[in-house]
Amino acid sequence: MLLIALAMPSVVLLLLINLYPLGYAGLQSVRDGDLIAPGKFVGLENYAYVLGQPSFLRAVLFTLVFTIVGVFGSWLVGLGFALLLQTVIPARPLFKTLLLLPWVVPIVVTTTAWNFLVATPQSLLPAIGQALGFPSALFLADPVLAQITVCMYKVWVSFPFMMMMTSSALASVDTNVYEAAKVDGATRWQTFRKITLPLIARPTYVSWVLMTIFCVNDFPTIYLLTQGGPTGATTTLVVLAYQTVFQNFQVGHGVAIAFLMTTALILVSVVLFRQIRKAHIE
């Protein structure tokens, strides 16, 4: 009882900090208010309106693409570097530190650097392309190129996290298993597919869950690179929710978008957590 009494103030404070904003946002999602007035109760009209908007459907599609590329692209690159770091390479600590830079450097700095590289015809990459005889490419002005650019940036900035997660998982694997597989005549690919991947399955699923949350909730990457443009091509759900609330002043619609996004994220997380529970060594 003493421990409960001592912990109760912290528990109450955490509930107030988390539940009050959530409850207030829930009320806003069923009203037609703005940033000043709460407005009248409209039930689920905001959700019905949002689900019928083409801009919402486009944002759902790009959020899905952005998340899939961000999760699996960064995982594949991170896995490759994690396996490389398992081998003997020169200046391994320095190499590992350099690989961590995209993750540890503030996102404002890295997005500014990428804008410097690709944003205008005078930027480094378009200038190099023109010098080599390629047509001028405006990476952030063309819808398709802008989508590719932000997805590549997400992979680049996220692979160090995946690399560290995978490196930790690989370090926990008993090397005797590999020795036994080598004695049995297993090839490197068979060892990787039949032993390494199953042994690191649970940490891999955990990293997928975390990266899915990071990607779906990633506002700075999109906003600092493209602000959702051009013509809404790189608008994700979190950016659309921000624009709806703070630019269009449609609070009910914007909060409804956020709640739909959160619901989908919870469902995906539940599926992945079930995979974590099922993961086992054959």
Decide: 42 and 31 in contact? Cβ < 8 Å: yes
* HEC secondary structure over 204-230: HHHHHHHHHHHHHCCCHHHHHHCCCCC
Most confident region among 35-44, 143-152, 178-187 by mean pLDDT: 143-152
Residue 31, phi then psi, degrees to nearest 5 = -125, 165
- In three-state secondary structure terms, 280 is coil
- Looking at the DSSP bridge assignments, the partners of residue 31 are 41
Domains of the chain in sequence order: 30-278 (1.10.3720.10)
Q: What is the pLDDT of residue 270?
A: 85
CA distance 28 to 41: 9
Confidence of residue 280 (pLDDT cuts 50, 70, 90): low
Confidence of residue 279 (pLDDT cuts 50, 70, 90): low
Q: Which one-letter amino acid corresponds to residue 50?
A: V
CA distance 128 to 136: 10
Query: Quick check: 118 pLDDT over 50?
Result: yes
Per mean pLDDT, which range of 43-57, 117-131, 234-248 is the poorest? Answer: 117-131
CA distance 241 to 250: 9
CA distance 227 to 235: 8
CA distance 113 to 116: 5
Closest C-alpha to 122, from 136, 133, 135, 112? 136
Q: Percent of the chain, pLDDT > 90?
A: 40
Helix ranges, the chain (H): 2-29, 45-51, 54-68, 74-85, 92-104, 107-118, 124-131, 143-171, 175-183, 188-191, 197-199, 201-216, 220-225, 237-246, 251-278
Confidence of residue 67 (pLDDT cuts 50, 70, 90): very high
- Looking at the DSSP bridge assignments, the partners of residue 243 are none
